[in-house]
Structure 1
Amino acid sequence: MSVDTSVMRAFNRSYVRRVGALEESFLGSGLPYGHARLLHEISLGAQVDGAITVQELRIRLGDLDSGYVSRILRALENNGYVTVRPDPSDGRRRQVDLTDAGQSAAEDLDKRSEERAHQLLDPLTQRQRDRLNEALATADILVRAATITIERVDPRDPVAQEAMGHYFAEIGDRFGFTVGDEGFGDDPSLRPPHGAFFVAASDGAPVASGAVREFPSTGSGHRDERTGEIKRMWVDPSWRGAGLGSRLLRHLEAEALRLGHQVVRLDTRDVLSEAISMYERAGYERIDRYNDNPHATHFFRKSLS
């Protein structure tokens, strides 16, 4: 299937010029765009956690080359904007702190960026601003969703635990009662060779997750190698509508095939109407109850062959 990239390429050329990204001194700040962007991310990290590590910076900026990040950090350090030192909690990592001069520079960048945004928006009518804001918000989440990678992680990994914390909190809120984690981190069925757990992250934070595992045969204690089961599917509410859930579901189906399964099953609850619609659009058919999950009301099956 051919993809028309002309609109996106034209927008990229127009936008980077109008926001000042091509200027040698970004927004007249005296810093190139790369230096200004890194300083902005360091400032954000300082606001949230008090500091940020070099590794976190690379993740937030799309796993930038470590040499490139180090060169910019040295330049910011030479300018007196940051200090780089071993992380007190883990000497193997490096922590980046803003100096007073760096904080002032970051605040100046924020002010200049706000002024440039006004230059772009002020000539428009309110209706045009609303249209632009809506279009940019849609474009932002779709581009971010397209560039997210879905990675296999151990259920005991902190990012998996964070994702499942959001998962259980949301379903408890949606169901109207507290739902326990049912020993999620210690479940061997969600780890190789019996299964796999996946997380999609943006800027280092989980925004979607899900698992596939072998389907336990009823009452036998043996596992049905032909059938897989999809579990723990979750998408951050702010990311819904960007197709991330459907993409994650296809990824889990592909993993089920890789594990040798020809059929997958899953269960859900009636209040999760968005999930039910997604499963039906993806070709899942309703079946009778196949397990004793007290929270589930709807059961689905799909042949992968």
Structure 2
Amino acid sequence: MFDNIARLRRFNRAVTREVGALDHSYLGRGRPLGAVRVLQLITRQGTDIAHIRAKLALDSGLLSRLLRALEAEHLIQITTDPTDRRRRTAQLTPAGAAEMAAYDAIGYAKATETLNRAGNRQQSLLEAMDLIATTLLRDQLEIRDADPNDPAAIACLQSYYDLLLEKIDGLTPDMLTLPLSDPDNYRAPHGAFLIAFSDDLPIGTVSLRPLEATIAEVKRLWVAPHAQGQGLARRLMQAIESRAKSLGYIHLKLDTNEALTEALTLYRRDGWSDIPAYTSFPATHWLGKTL
């Protein structure tokens, strides 16, 4: 059996070569990859420099040098917040926006070429990439509010419904509503729709809607397969329970199906207990929790 460390280091070398990390001119446009990664995080509306530093884990000296170089090329402009002199913002200029469009076009073509090399194994390759990226970016995972009709929310719900259709016998697509028929119930101040993002890719969701004045229902906990096993489901449940408490709810309910064994195990381990049935099929188990 091949040494696991050697396999990982081989993978690192392959990625380094593929992305051009050592090239003085990334994608042939005259700048190293580090400068381009900084440029990618800057928007026309402006990006806080502290956010860029945290996102890329750069020391302030290196980031300052990269920003000065981009500014000298007239690709960005840097401003200081008049109310807080310590806060600086970088903003794309029209020339910077045009340069990013050129990088995006070249990058898209290169990514297409890489996927084409995989032939009929593209899906397996993408799933492996998702697993690796989510693992490496675990420290940058963010749970954020979303509107229930946002495209990211719809994508998460579709993946959740796909899972239900795969797992639950007798469930059919016409029993599932997409988009949600009652989106206002998942918006403040009534409820919430949370999405877990890994570098802006949605990888998990959970939501909350009101049932009575002090009772709310937790709905549609889902975690992408490549993000499972890292404690994300528990983090989402803790986040939605905290949100429910902040909205004034005292009791929570949820329903689930016996086929979703991992979810049932999580709920029971986190203090949810059986309650009388309050919904019908596809639910087979009903649980409650007092906050």
Corresponding residue pairs, total: 219
Secondary structure of the corresponding residue to residue 184 of structure 1: coil
* Residue among 216, 233, 236 paired with 2:224: 236
* Residue among 275, 282, 286 paired with 1:295: 282
Q: CA deviation at 1:73?
A: 11
Matches within 5 A, 1:254-269: 254-269=242-257
Q: Return the alpha-carbon distance in structure 2 between the equivalents of residues 37 and 255 of structure 1.
A: 34
Corresponding residue for residue 197 of structure 2: 201
* Residues 172/188 of structure 1: CA separation in 2 closer, same or farther (3 Å cut): same
Secondary structure of the corresponding residue to residue 252 of structure 1: helix
Q: Is the 8 A contact 2:149 2:183 kept in 1?
A: no
Q: Which amino acid aligns with 2:189?
A: P
- Whether 2:96 is the aligned partner of 1:97: answer no
Corresponding residue for residue 207 of structure 2: 211
Q: Return the alpha-carbon distance in structure 2 between the equivalents of residues 74 and 174 of structure 1.
A: 55
Secondary structure of the corresponding residue to residue 170 of structure 1: helix
* Residues 269/97 of structure 1: CA separation in 2 closer, same or farther (3 Å cut): same
Q: Is the 8 A contact 2:192 2:208 kept in 1?
A: yes
Q: Is the 8 A contact 1:26 1:36 kept in 2?
A: no
- Whether 2:127 is the aligned partner of 1:167: answer no
Matches within 5 A, 1:130-169: 141-142=134-135, 144-169=137-162
Deviating more after overlay: 239-248 vs 194-203: 194-203
* Residue among 235, 246, 270 paired with 1:282: 270
* Residues 138/97 of structure 1: CA separation in 2 closer, same or farther (3 Å cut): closer
Q: Which amino acid aligns with 1:293?
A: S
Alpha-carbon deviations, 1:159-186, whole Å to 9, x = none? 2112112111221222243242265164
Q: Return the alpha-carbon distance in structure 1 between the equivalents of residues 97 and 245 of structure 2.
A: 46
TM-score in terms of structure 1 length: 0.58
Q: CA deviation at 1:145?
A: 3.2
Q: Which amino acid aligns with 2:161?
A: F
Q: Which amino acid aligns with 1:275?
A: A
* Residues 246/69 of structure 1: CA separation in 2 closer, same or farther (3 Å cut): farther
* Residue among 187, 191, 196 paired with 1:191: 187
Q: CA deviation at 1:298?
A: 0.8
Question: Which runs of no fewer than 5 residues in structure 2 stay unpaired?
Answer: 1-8, 26-30, 57-62, 77-94, 115-129
Q: CA deviation at 1:28?
A: 5.2
Secondary structure of the corresponding residue to residue 97 of structure 1: helix
What is the root-mean-square deviation of aligned Cα atoms in Å? 4.4
* Residue among 229, 237, 240 paired with 1:252: 240
Q: Return the alpha-carbon distance in structure 2 between the equivalents of residues 143 and 38 of structure 1.
A: 19
Q: CA deviation at 1:228?
A: 1.8
Corresponding residue for residue 127 of structure 2: none
* Residues 237/28 of structure 1: CA separation in 2 closer, same or farther (3 Å cut): closer
Q: Return the alpha-carbon distance in structure 2 between the equivalents of residues 74 and 84 of structure 1.
A: 13
Q: Return the alpha-carbon distance in structure 2 between the equivalents of residues 69 and 151 of structure 1.
A: 32
Q: Return the alpha-carbon distance in structure 2 between the equivalents of residues 37 and 164 of structure 1.
A: 31
Question: Which runs of no fewer than 5 residues in structure 1 stay unpaired?
Answer: 1-14, 43-52, 86-93, 111-136, 216-222
* Residues 142/284 of structure 1: CA separation in 2 closer, same or farther (3 Å cut): farther
Q: Which amino acid aligns with 2:271?
A: G
Alpha-carbon deviations, 1:190-246, whole Å to 9, x = none? 11221111111123221111111222xxxxxxx2x2222101111111111011100
* Residues 249/32 of structure 1: CA separation in 2 closer, same or farther (3 Å cut): same
TM-score in terms of structure 2 length: 0.60
Q: Which amino acid aligns with 2:22?
A: L
Matches within 5 A, 1:42-121: 68=67, 71=70, 84-85=97-98, 96-98=101-103
* Residues 210/72 of structure 1: CA separation in 2 closer, same or farther (3 Å cut): farther
